[in-house]
Amino acid sequence: MIDYIIGKISYIGEDYFLLENQGMGFRINTSSNTLMQLIKGEEKQHVFTDLIVREDSMSLYGFVSEDEMRMFKLLLTVSKIGPKVACGILSTLRPVQIQKAIMLKDVTTLCKGPGVGKKTAERIVLELKDKVKGGFTEDESFNELIEPMDNEAIEALVALGYSRYEAQKAFQGTDLTGMTVEDIIKLGLRKLSR
């Protein structure tokens, strides 16, 4: 119904952002990966969107990457996976990582998504194995994002009261190779206290 919106980023929250267009402000739910690519005040941000209509609500979900939107829609076709769980998976793994995990039947990797247990991960593999072949590429804009293996440090900062967006933004563009989780947390605290 609404395939995309181009507008100004007026606010970035923990799991959503506000996009102004023609005097209207759209609340768009999204993944951490998309939030990391947004810049508050950006005048002409292009966002691929999907309107989810439920009996008692309407919610708009959106992503900067077309691959992320495609994977979101694929995840929604899996029984018992709703938009929040799909966004959680996309906050933890990039579309190409999800594709590889499905093709390799790597249930452990899929279980990294919040709300995804072994049975859900197995259902994702079973229901999407024939739908994810080809088409997903490594998006260059994701290269500066923190790797999923460093999620432990992110979770620690969130437990200390920082938002997931703040915690991830603190590490953007930082080389964490060879650092222990403890060192990463200390680095994050230093950056966030500035």
How many domains is the chain partitioned into structurally? 3
Domain range enclosing 44:
4-63
Give domain status of residue 136, yes or no: no
Note the pLDDT of residue 138. Answer: 55
Question: What confidence score (pLDDT) does residue 141 get?
Answer: 42
0.95 cut: is pTM over it?
no
- Is residue 117 one of the residues assigned to a domain? yes
Does the residue 135 lie in any domain?
no
Measured between alpha carbons, how far is 104 from 6 in angstroms, rounded to an integer? 36
Q: Rounded distance, CA 144 to CA 5, Å?
A: 25
Tell me which of 46, 63, 80 is where a domain ends: 63
Please check whether residue 29 lies inside any domain of the structure.
Answer: yes
Q: Are residues 49 and 95 in the same domain?
A: no
Q: What is the pLDDT of residue 144?
A: 41
Answer whether residue 134 is part of any domain.
no
Looking at the structure, do residues 38 and 75 belong to the same domain, yes or no? no
State whether 46 and 92 are in the same domain.
no
Residue 112: what pLDDT?
Answer: 86
Residue 77: inside a domain, yes or no? yes
DSSP E strands, the chain:
4-12, 16-21, 24-29, 45-53, 58-63
Decide: 90 and 71 in contact? Cβ < 8 Å: yes
- Among 63, 89, 110, the domain boundary falls at 63
- With vertex at residue 168, the alpha carbon angle to CA 167 and CA 171, rounded to the nearest 5 degrees, is 100
Residues of the chain with pLDDT under 70: 134-150
Got the DSSP string for 50-103? EEEE-SS-EEEEEESSHHHHHHHHHHHTSTT--HHHHHHHHHHS-HHHHHHHHH
82 shares a domain with 116: yes
